[in-house]
Amino acid sequence: MRILRIFDKNTIILIIWSVNQELFEEIVKFCLETSYFVYRGQTFSQIDGMPMGGPLSPIIADLIMDHTISTVLQELPVEVIGMTKYVDDLFCMIPAGSVDTVLQAFNGFHDRIQFTVEVERDGGIPYLDTYISRNGRNLESRWYKKPSASDRMLSFYSKHPLQQKIGAAIGLIKRVKQLTTTPEVDVRQIVNTKLRINGFPQGLINGLWHKYTQTRTADQGNTQQSTEGDLIYRSITYVPRLTDQIMRILKKEIPNLHLAYKSTNQVRNLHTNMKDKIDPLLDSELVYSIPCECGRVYVGKTKQRLRDRVGQHRRSVNPKNIVIIKKEETALTTHSREHKHEFQFEDVGVLDRCTGNDGKLKFLESMHIYLTKHKNVNKHQDTEGVSTIYTTLLQRVKIRDSPPRDDESFKSCVSGNAPLIGE
């Protein structure tokens, strides 16, 4: 293990590594200097700072903060009595009257690393999830939430597995209790109010509170258990009741299986996507539809870029090429040739996407062919990938938000939920 210094303009980054120095330096520099992003169709190179969401960003941010603190503290003309840090939030205890000096020292370290300061009021100050207050020469803390914070957490009425709801409640109990050191604050009351607001039954809250006091022994038991045998960890999408039953059966058959529930309904799906959308024509691994002038559609899948695949379709219906490719022609070519119809290639739509799983992509194609079977030009055998188990379900399926299946809904399934190019 050695320490590497990378000098970049005014910034010094210290990194501890245990591989070949030159190679490592090259890799890090490459990662730091090649951030690109697309905004309103234009590609930009990021010349300063770290990319948001980049895997390296938090590590570098942490290193930079550590370096900033150690450098500033060495040169500071006043004594710092105590300091703690969480990412870029610092908590400092310094002599009264030296706030400006300390702030100037930190802000003088680098033009682009600038701090703001908040000073204690009435002997206390909020820091992260705590409120720190003086008690003589001691400091006391209590769990703190901003006045604007809602008391919302995972609701007991939510369609989540019971374990997750209990886990959320235990998390709250532990946090509030651990963060509160002052005996004057009624921790149990805080926990109770918040859990009741979120629909947790009083009996459960009481039980969890009681259980929390015995957590230490429970934790020790778990540690011993986990060393026994080879545990298998898998995750499974949670569907109320169904997943619980599957879980019970699997537990019996495979005792060392540890299943975690996952949800497809995630918060990030609710956020606006600020990233520029990729032109669907440049996208690959998807199921697409191409409408014909007669109102029917061709449904296909491709692993190549959609633009290339559409190009192949265009060429396949060119009268000059038909003779050559006739042997392996698609349903689109056959339809166009037999009925002398023209396909509207510019109105190609994306029906589904699936990366890195050929089987799933094939299934999605079959499913969309099945769902549009009264409207498409595809061959009957194209739906063979859908087992009869699914066809029963698909007869009732509501694809995303489209209305139940009838002739009109096929249209909405094909064009309504597909981002058509040219719209």
Measure the CA–CA gap between 166 and 205, rounded to whole angstroms. 9
Whose Cβ is closer to Zn ion: residue 9's or residue 380's? 380
Whose Cβ is closer to Zn ion: residue 145's or residue 341's? 341
Q: Is residue 292 part of the contact set for Zn ion (CB under 5 A)?
A: yes
How far are the Cα atoms of 169, 172, 210 from residue 163, in angstroms, in the given order?
10, 14, 17
Q: Closest separation between CB of residue 374 and Zn ion, Å?
A: 14
Range in contact with Zn ion (rule: CB under 5 A) among 16-24, 116-124, 264-272, 288-296: 288-296
Whose Cβ is closer to Zn ion: residue 257's or residue 294's? 294
Nearest CA to 359 out of 387, 334, 378, 400 is that of 387
Q: Is residue 411 part of the contact set for Zn ion (CB under 5 A)?
A: no
Range in contact with Zn ion (rule: CB under 5 A) among 62-70, 146-154, 225-233, 336-344: 336-344
Q: Is residue 307 part of the contact set for Zn ion (CB under 5 A)?
A: no
Whose Cβ is closer to Zn ion: residue 133's or residue 372's? 372
Range in contact with Zn ion (rule: CB under 5 A) among 59-67, 71-79, 286-294, 311-319: 286-294
Range in contact with Zn ion (rule: CB under 5 A) among 150-158, 241-249, 278-286, 294-302: 294-302
Q: Could you write out the three-class secondary structure of the chain?
A: CEEEEEEECCEEEEEEECCCHHHHHHHHHHHHHCCEEEECCEEEECCCCCCCCCCCHHHHHHHHHHHHHHHHHHHCCCCCCEEEEECCEEEEECCCCCHHHHHHHHHCCECCECCCCCCCECCEEEECCEEEEEECCEEEEEECCCCCCCCCCCCCCCCCCHHHHHHHHHHHHHHHHHHCCCCCCCHHHHHHHHHHHCCCCHHHHHHHHHHHHCHHHHHHHHHHHHCCCCCEEEEEECCCCHHHHHHHHHHHHCCCEEEEEECCCCHHHHCCCCCCCCCHHHCEEEEEEEEECCCCEEEEEEEEEHHHHHHHHHHHCCHHHHHHHHHHCCHHHHHHHHHCCCECHHHCEEEEECCCCHHHHHHHHHHHHHHCCCCECCCHHHHCCCCHHHHHHHCCCCCCCCCCCCHHHHHHHHHHCCCCCCC
Whose Cβ is closer to Zn ion: residue 341's or residue 362's? 341
Q: Closest separation between CB of residue 257 and Zn ion, Å?
A: 52
Q: Closest separation between CB of residue 341 and Zn ion, Å?
A: 3
Whose Cβ is closer to Zn ion: residue 87's or residue 294's? 294
Q: Closest separation between CB of residue 402 and Zn ion, Å?
A: 23
Q: Closest separation between CB of residue 307 and Zn ion, Å?
A: 22
Whose Cβ is closer to Zn ion: residue 307's or residue 341's? 341
Q: Closest separation between CB of residue 292 and Zn ion, Å?
A: 3
Whose Cβ is closer to Zn ion: residue 292's or residue 386's? 292
Measure the CA–CA gap between 57 and 253, rounded to whole angstroms. 44
Whose Cβ is closer to Zn ion: residue 246's or residue 294's? 294
**Number of residues binding to Zn ion, judged by CB under 5 A:** 3
257 strand-pairing partners? 232
Nearest CA to 350 out of 278, 272, 270, 266 is that of 278
Q: Closest separation between CB of residue 294 and Zn ion, Å?
A: 3
Range in contact with Zn ion (rule: CB under 5 A) among 136-144, 145-153, 199-207, 292-300: 292-300
Q: Is residue 294 part of the contact set for Zn ion (CB under 5 A)?
A: yes
Q: Is residue 290 part of the contact set for Zn ion (CB under 5 A)?
A: no
Whose Cβ is closer to Zn ion: residue 231's or residue 294's? 294
Q: Closest separation between CB of residue 377 and Zn ion, Å?
A: 6
Distance spanning both ends of the chain, measured CA to CA:
57
Phi then psi for residue 237, to 5 deg, are: -65, 135
Q: Closest separation between CB of residue 333 and Zn ion, Å?
A: 12
Whose Cβ is closer to Zn ion: residue 337's or residue 341's? 341
Q: Which of 315, 341, 353, 373 binds Zn ion (CB under 5 A)?
A: 341
For Zn ion, the binding residues (CB under 5 A) are 292, 294, 341
